Amino acid sequence: MKLAHACALAAVLWSAAGLASSDDKKEKKAKPCTIKSPTDRFFDLNPISVQPDTTKKGKDGKSHPAESWHAKGYDYPANFTINFCAPVVEDLDDVVGLDSHATKNVSAYYTQHGKTYSIGQQNSELVFRGRKLILNYTDGSPCGEDSDYYRRDVHSLETRKKHDDDDDDDDDWHKPKKGKGDKRRKSTIISLLCETDSLSPPDEATVAFVAASPDECTYFFEARSKAACGGIEKETQQLGPGGVFGVIVLIAFLVYFVGGCMYQRTVMHQRGWRQIPNFAFWESIWRFFTVSGRRARRLVGLWHRTDLRLHDSPALHAALDLKPECLWQIFTWDSHYVYHARLRALSTAITALSSPNHPSSRLLVLRESPQTLFPKLFSSSSSWRPTHLVYERDTDAYARDRDAAVDALARAAGVEVVTRNGRTLFDPDVLVERGNGGEEKTYASFGLIAGPKGDFGVPEMSELGFADGAATTGIEGGEARALAALRRVLDDVEYVATFEKPAMAPTEWDPPATTVLSPHLHFGTLGVREFWWGVKGAVERYEREKGEGKASGMPVNLEGQLLFREMYFAAQAPLGHRFAQSHNNPQCRHIPWHLPSTIDPSTGLSTGAYSVDSPEAERWFLRWKAGATGFPWIDGLMRQLRRTGFVEHLGRHALACFLTRGGCYVHWERGAAVFAELLLDHEPACNAGNWMWLACAAFCDRFHRCYSPFAFPRRWDPEGRFVRRWVPELAAFDAKYVYEPWKAPIADQKRWGCVH
């Protein structure tokens, strides 16, 4: 009888779940101009979408017809008109390159020399790039090589051709190329930021022009509004017939379960799992699905994340030690990765790992975030369901949250999880146990505790929302490239043994003065132990030839740089997300910087937004971010970072010092967020740690030692070759003035094309 009752109950529950899901769990179609973030916050930009029939009160208190939003071009010779998720309300008669029908759907434009140029057509789909809320307009007026841009003087400034050319060959860049039939068109990218001013109305927005691409095909704006702060979606929830039936069945099940447990406990005196009603029946079902036939087969999923290599891979060894009948190597395409330079390097690294594998055991690139993918793989109905999941441990704050969620899913599904440390020389969690709870605030104190012990192809750049030529970095990923680069470094034994970080010229790029192996460590295409022992071997060979004590010492040598990396990972391990912020971070000193982060009071964590306590500091920050401060050394470094994704270590120091204590007094979290977006070798722990170090907020207190934007670069490059390369506006300047162009006589500035 018990078996019959249990089967009937299971059937009723199954039918109820089906009806409830069909009636009440249908996905609602998203409202235009709205989106939900990965953290389930709801964003609705409709309040700032201007409609033609609306009116607004002016400063005179009277109602006036609504206008679209406007942004001044400042250093760009035009002003812009923009609407959000809707066409502009202004009447446009003639737009360059668009027919009369398309003119009605222009969402952003500017007027110049009597002509109107569209920089994007209407689009109401919002997207997230990491934590950034983005609205993108495309299909504007023709631009670039296929428009008449190359056959006219766009701004009546002949010298603009020189200014926009980042290359050294200025002879024929402006000539149209043959064989390209498709027209390129102008587009707009708007980054939406939260307006934290409590007095700001929800239907107001402030739009600021940030920059335009050199070929004037892409325009970047930032818009600040309360509508971009997010909240809870307002909707009316109605319970359908299936839902009502499901509630009734749920109540019946609870009565059965609670009543049965009380009976088993009080009458039958059962304890533990045996308090469940009909325990023997449910136990037999559980064993049937989780044990029967699975002990004889080991199906192992090897989840690659920060170990895109086959050498020096503890996780791969652990997977093979299980002697699996089938080994699936998988990579989940996580949307947490941002910026085209880093995505390109990641794409090439995955491609390189996939190519040498046997066709029957290739790397499977699964195009979905792990939080939503693994529930499908672990499902009992999935033919892919593994018995074991193996991966390399990652202690980054985001990775800890992600892995905890996946581990919980695996345990619930009966999948055994096996993890190995391989990203760092030492396990950060073990160092925390050995040390002072992770509060290692100096390199010396760290040294006391550290000691040795379907379509599964790689997505193209265009699939990720970037143009094929968007990534301009010369650094590509892949295990073979990483090992070849390591061999080139180790073959120069004298370079390795005498390496001193402060002696590496930040102005050298082709070839660079440093190893440029950090991107390979970041993507896991190079094992950190392979690097460490290779360096140790090279130093030993050098000292056998030259004598002991001739090599560089800690902490400036190559081994010291790897231990700095270990120190930051260990410092981050006990703090998680708090390590990347000053609020509630015991490692960090409180300093009243400008543009402080907005803190969520419920979690104590930064929301990603910040308060503009000083409009002047905000302007300085945006100019620093765009490489347009007017300080050639700083602007050259930032432009190099934006174009290549890489800046030498001392160059990063100069950028961080200038933005914080050395110049702008802007919060270090603002700069850390920009580096997190742009750096190829971005490690969250190292990035936050270095920014705190350079701001003298933690790890270092030598606040009086600043990097001069004039004297420091002259020490390495008195002729200013680096500045001329990355700031071509100053290519013709004498070396005397290249770092301080404002000191040049005005006649020379005009002759060299700096002013007109």
At 715 the pLDDT is: 93
Residue 514 assigned to a binding site:
yes
Query: Do the domain assignments include residue 156?
Result: no
CA angle 115, 178, 475 (to 5 degrees): 95
**470-488 pLDDT per residue, tens:** 445 567 778 889 999 999 9
Helix, strand and coil percent figures for the chain, each rounded to 5? 40, 15, 45
End-to-end CA, the chain: 97
Q: Per DSSP, which regions of 41-166 are E strands?
A: 42-44, 55-57, 63-65, 69-71, 80-82, 108-112, 115-118, 126-129, 132-137, 142-143
Quick one: residue 476, left, alpha or beta (phi over 0 = left, psi -120 to 50 = alpha)? beta
CA atoms within 13 A on the CB side of 325: 9
- 202 with 265, same domain? no
At 595 the pLDDT is: 97
Phi/psi at 269 (5° precision): 55, 40
Taking the C-alpha atoms of residue 675 and residue 637, their distance in angstroms, rounded to an integer, is 12
Is 358 a residue whose pLDDT tops 70? no
- 393 with 493, same domain? no
- When the pLDDT of each residue in the chain is averaged and rounded to a whole number, the result is 80
Residue 442 assigned to a binding site:
no
- 223 with 82, same domain? yes
Mean pLDDT of 87-91: 89
- 554 with 618, same domain? no
- Chain centroid to CA 239: 40
CA angle 378, 380, 386 (to 5 degrees): 45
Taking the C-alpha atoms of residue 379 and residue 210, their distance in angstroms, rounded to an integer, is 47
Minimum mean pLDDT range among 120-134, 340-354, 689-703: 340-354
At 460 the pLDDT is: 54
Three-state DSSP class for residue 23: helix
- Note down the domain range covering 490: 479-569
Q: Which residues contact 481 (CB under 8 A, 6 or more apart)?
A: 348, 352, 520, 525
Q: Is the pTM of this model over 0.85?
A: no
Which of the listed residues 403, 423, 443 is the one where a domain comes to its end? 423
Three-state DSSP class for residue 598: strand
Query: Do the domain assignments include residue 70?
Result: yes
**187-225 pLDDT per residue, tens:** 999 999 998 887 888 888 899 999 888 888 999 999 999
pLDDT band at 289 (very low <50, low <70, confident <90, very high): low
Q: What is the CA radius of gyration of the chain?
A: 30
Is 383 a residue whose pLDDT tops 50? yes
According to the per-residue pLDDT averaged within each range, which of 264-273, 431-440, 722-731 is highest? 722-731
According to the per-residue pLDDT averaged within each range, which of 14-18, 33-37, 258-262, 485-489 is highest? 485-489
- 311 with 406, same domain? yes
At 360 the pLDDT is: 53
Is 729 a residue whose pLDDT tops 80? yes
Taking the C-alpha atoms of residue 693 and residue 705, their distance in angstroms, rounded to an integer, is 12
Widest Cα–Cα separation across the chain? 103
Q: Which residues contact 540 (CB under 8 A, 6 or more apart)?
A: none
Which of the listed residues 569, 596, 630 is the one where a domain comes to its end? 569
- 256 with 343, same domain? no
- 497 with 646, same domain? no
Taking the C-alpha atoms of residue 90 and residue 428, their distance in angstroms, rounded to an integer, is 59
- 414 with 488, same domain? no
Tokens of 709: 């934007």
What CATH number does residue 705 fall under? 1.10.579.10
Reported as type and span, the H/E element at residue 7 is helix 2-24
Task: Tell me what percent of the residues of the chain surpass a pLDDT of 90.
Answer: 36
- Give me the long-range contacts of 86-93 (CB less than 8 A, separation at least 24): 86/33, 86/49, 86/50, 86/51, 86/122, 86/124, 87/122, 88/50, 89/50, 89/51, 89/52, 89/65, 92/116
Query: Do the domain assignments include residue 45?
Result: yes
In order of 215, 494, 533, 559, the CA distances from 539 in angstroms are 48, 8, 10, 10
Is 527 a residue whose pLDDT tops 70? yes
Query: Do the domain assignments include residue 24?
Result: no
Is 443 a residue whose pLDDT tops 70? no
Query: Do the domain assignments include residue 559?
Result: yes
Mean pLDDT of 94-112: 89
- 303 with 409, same domain? yes
Which of the listed residues 569, 598, 621 is the one where a domain comes to its end? 569
- 711 with 593, same domain? yes
At 62 the pLDDT is: 60
Residue 55 assigned to a binding site:
no
pLDDT band at 390 (very low <50, low <70, confident <90, very high): very high
Residue 517 assigned to a binding site:
yes
Query: Do the domain assignments include residue 434?
Result: no
Three-state DSSP class for residue 512: strand
pLDDT band at 454 (very low <50, low <70, confident <90, very high): very low
The DSSP code for 223 is: E
Please state whether beta strands 299-304 and 388-392 pair in parallel, antiparallel, or not at all (unpaired).
parallel
Phi/psi at 700 (5° precision): -145, 145
Query: Do the domain assignments include residue 601?
Result: yes
- 191 with 80, same domain? yes
- Chain centroid to CA 646: 15
- 216 with 100, same domain? yes
Higher pLDDT, residue 564 or 60: 564
What CATH number does residue 310 fall under? 3.40.50.620
Tokens of 571: 């410092």
pLDDT band at 622 (very low <50, low <70, confident <90, very high): very high
Query: Do the domain assignments include residue 610?
Result: yes
Task: Return the closest-CA partner of residue 685 out of 591, 566, 574, 572.
Answer: 572
Is 344 a residue whose pLDDT tops 90? no
Taking the C-alpha atoms of residue 257 and residue 277, their distance in angstroms, rounded to an integer, is 6
Q: How many domains does the chain have?
A: 5
